[in-house]
Structure 1
Amino acid sequence: MSVSSLDIIIPSFRPAANYLLPILNLAKPPDIRIRYFLVVDNPTATIPESIKEREGPDLNIIHHQQNQGAAVSRNDGIEAGHAPWMLFLDDDILVPENLLFTYIHAIATHPQEIGFIGLIRMPAPGTAFTEAIRASGSMDIFTVAEKKENHAWGATANIMIRRSALGDIRFSELYPRAGGGEDIDFFLKVRAHNHYRNFKSLPEAAVLHPWWNQEKVNIQRPFRYGIGGSWLAQLNPQYVYYDLLNTPELLLLLIFGSVAAAVWKPQLIPGLLFILLGIIIVELVANMIQALKRRAPLRPAVFFYVLLLRLSFQSGLLWGNLSRGRLTGMGERFNDDGKIRKLNFYRLNSYKITKWIGYPLVCWLAFRYWF
């Protein structure tokens, strides 16, 4: 299959020449029109002169006059182009010079595919926080291309899609502006539109993604992803199942119950506080076991951050549902692998086993000594 043109869509909040110029200078396959669409979603951002001077037929710079979010930025890039294939790239990745050749070869070799998931590597963790991110598994989607032959979705940092596969599907603007869930929603909908055909993995198309924020602690990102997760379940109910309450959901119910019980019988307060503390300790132990299974280093700070990341995500999930009055979101979980399962409470792993052995033990101790 011959490819006449390719659109490259790059949303950007902080356009930096050291990242963008190598992307703009990628080696171009002969006889193929490559057009870049750089969507700067920050009205106060200064576009480097080395980038601005490149603007022309092959580089279209779209500078938003107000921040509109990741979804709008990608949609603007989609609408601005017309090539049969689109490549989504982040604005802060390091790219190999032959990246476009790899993708074009994949199109020629597998013309029937609806898209290709590139590989996204990250540097070795340099802090306890980034060690925790790796151990938590929250960024496993970055390397899914080297683990599976195909998958239901991929990260927009490095993924190619056939334009005709989209139809009228676009990134939803309901998700958090800074990103969180809109990419999963988009690719799952494209997949469903194409008879549930997965995107093919292309590990040869590998880029390097630096750690965010110089590896500093940041829990806003997982919290935002959690809010996005609440929207995923609401907008894609076919992938929803119900599971046991997570820790923030359980703590919320216990806090309300404890307030009511304390008013009714104040002598119950010590026992109730013990249960609340016990739940947090059990959650920590469960996360430690899971982190060790993923070969996390034996460092207390790493275990603490693994716990913090999980609780941040789960708190975002809870807040997203409660802020919209979705009480049915309590215990609601989402199959982001694109599988439609109607079985509830079916998943069993070391994390869940640890929690549901620990919880009865905590309650037994509370009843034995305080109730």
Structure 2
Amino acid sequence: MSSNSIDIIIPSFRLDEQYLLPLFHLPKPAGWRFNYYVIVDNPTVQPGQEILRLAASGEIHLFINPENLGAAESRNKGINAGSGDWMLFLDDDIVADDDILFQYVKAIEAHPGSIGFIGLTDFPAPMNTFTRALTAAGLTSIFTIANRKDEFMWGVTANMMYNRAAMQELRFSAIFPKSGGGEDVDLPAQICLRNNARFICVKEARAVHPWWHDGQPHYKRFERYGEGMALLLPRFKQFTWYAFPNPVEGLLLVLLSAPLFFLYLSWEKWVILLLAIPLIDMVINYIRAYGMGFRELKTGYYMTLLRCSNEWGLFKTIMRAGKPGYFLKRINIDFTRPRHFRTNRWRIIKLVIYLLLIAALIFI
């Protein structure tokens, strides 16, 4: 293993030179060795001339997978190809600050025994209602965890550094969705638990991530994140807890209760209850967004669709795996030991609204 060396591992599908070339040419601290490992998970890609030149000269190590292996296996390929003391994972579409490598080296020199570091991955300012909904729903919050925490159990691989000695034989698991979702929670959490330590947050090591799909509405990514959360549940049972039903689970419970419901109420009232579940969620989401300064009514609508996409991914993965015992279960993604049941003011408000609605349907 090389002393004072950092492997920079970049999995890529697009090989977009407008993002990659600035990463290759980042200013580098003296006295440190940097090796780039670019793993292309797209066998049909045609590398540009400059990337081919850099690969031929040995300035980068370029690997093109013969088939689509997925994000986890591509990162593992980069890990196994290198031998540096430290491994910096970067996404292929970020714009890093010029001093990002200096900031990571500064962190290493200050904390040489650390298991690794979480950099700051910012997003541009919200550009439309959908990106404001993403922000209000908290779906970008883990990217900016370094702004709020000194240490944490995991961070996104868009901008995160690992100590090879702490990782040892652990690798990203291929059980998670190929396009990513859950594997960047699983591996660092395992490293933390094994080493009884946490990753140090380095907000000065900053990069900017563009809005996915140019900020246009899309939901598959967040469904995939839900799939990843479902796959984490059996791997970290000690950090799971039961929750109030989310809209997807609530709709299922109302559908399953239809025969019993019709014994006491008309089908029209049952339909009202069925329709009320997403509507109540939209209202509460809008109130949350309004409190954060996002005033468009459509924000609550997008937040609900985003949440339901995530929750549908969670639910379908649990059912497909034949693990109905995980229905209504959640995982503490900060990996603190939870109570058996958790609530907050929004869940309490929602429960009160549901109880009032059911009472109204029964007595009116």
Superposed pair shares fold, TM > 0.5:
yes
Question: Does structure 2 conserve the Cα–Cα contact (< 8 Å) formed by 1:282 and 1:354?
Answer: no
1:280 paired residue among 256, 278, 290? 278
Q: How does 1:213-292 map to 2 (within 5 A)?
A: 213-258=213-258, 260-261=259-260, 268-292=266-290
- Following the alignment from structure 1 to structure 2, what is the Cα–Cα distance between the partners of residues 326 and 88? 33
Does structure 2 conserve the Cα–Cα contact (< 8 Å) formed by 1:122 and 1:208?
A: yes
**Does structure 2 conserve the Cα–Cα contact (< 8 Å) formed by 1:10 and 1:38?**
yes
Which amino acid is the alignment partner of residue 189 of structure 1? Q
Q: Which amino acid aligns with 2:52?
A: K
Does structure 1 residue 54 correspond to structure 2 residue 54? yes
1:98 aligns with: 99
1:303 aligned residue (291, 295, 300): 300
Distance in 2 (alpha carbons) for counterparts of 1:4 and 1:265:
73
CA distance in 2 between partners of 1:32 and 1:327 (Å): 51
8 Å Cα contact 1:286-1:352 kept in structure 2: no
Other structure's SS at 2:42 match: coil
Evaluate the alpha carbon distance shift between residue 240 and residue 267 of structure 1 in structure 2; reply closer, same or farther with a 3 A threshold. Answer: closer
Within 1, Cα distance between the matches of 2:340 and 2:287?
24
Distance 1:110 1:321 in 2: 40
- Kindly indicate whether residue 177 of structure 2 is the aligned counterpart of residue 176 of structure 1: yes
Alpha-carbon deviations, 1:140-199, whole Å to 9, x = none?
01111111111111110001110000121111111111011110011100101111x111
For residues 259-310 of structure 1, give each alpha carbon's deviation from its aligned partner in whole angstroms, at most 9, with x where no partner exists.
x348x759721111011112222211221222223x1421011111111111
Partner of 1:131: 132
Q: CA deviation at 1:312?
A: 0.9
Please, which of 335, 345, 360 is the counterpart of residue 355 of structure 2?
360
5+ residue gaps in structure 1? none
Give the superposition deviation at 1:13.
Answer: 1.1
Residue 86 of structure 1: aligned partner: 87
Q: Which of the residues 335, 340, 343 maps onto 1:344?
A: 340
Q: Deviations over 1:342-367 (max 9, x none)?
A: x2223323x21221011111111221
Q: Residue 37 of structure 2 aligns to a residue in which SS? A: strand
Q: Residues of 2 paired with 1:244 and 1:150: CA distance?
A: 29
Q: Whole-Å Cα distance in 2 between the matches of residues 249 and 296 of structure 1?
A: 29
Q: Secondary structure at the match of 1:107?
A: helix
Question: SS in structure 2 opposite 1:38?
Answer: strand
AA in 2 matched with 1:136: A
- Distance in 1 (alpha carbons) for counterparts of 2:58 and 2:85: 17
Q: Does 1:318 align with 2:315?
A: yes
Which amino acid is 2:362 matched to? F
Q: Contact 2:265–2:362 (CA<8 Å) still a contact in 1?
A: no
TM-score calculated relative to the size of structure 2: 0.96
Residues 253 and 194 of structure 1, relative CA distance in 2, 3 Å threshold: same
Letter in structure 1 aligned against 2:316 = W
- Structure 2: gaps spanning 5 or more residues: none
Aligned to 2:206: 206
Q: CA deviation at 1:49?
A: 1.6
Deviations 1:214-248 (A, max 9, x none): 11111001111001110011221121111222111
Match of 1:53, SS?
Answer: helix
Separation in 2, partners of 1:44, 1:52: 15
Matches within 5 A, 1:99-178: 99-178=100-179
Instruction: Report the Cα distance in structure 2 between the residues aligned to 1:8 and 1:19, rounded to whole angstroms.
Output: 14
- What's the secondary structure of 2:298's corresponding residue? helix
Amino acid at match of 2:171: R
- d(CA) in 2 for partners of 1:247 and 1:330? 13
Distance in 1 (alpha carbons) for counterparts of 2:343 and 2:275: 26
Distance 2:307 2:318 in 1: 17
Letter in 1 for 2:303: V
* % identical equivalent positions: 37
Q: Which amino acid aligns with 1:348?
A: N
Aligned length: 362
Residue 256 of structure 1: how far off its partner (Å): 2.1
Pick which of 200-209 and 53-62 moved more. Answer: 53-62
Indicate the larger mover: 176-185 or 237-246: 237-246
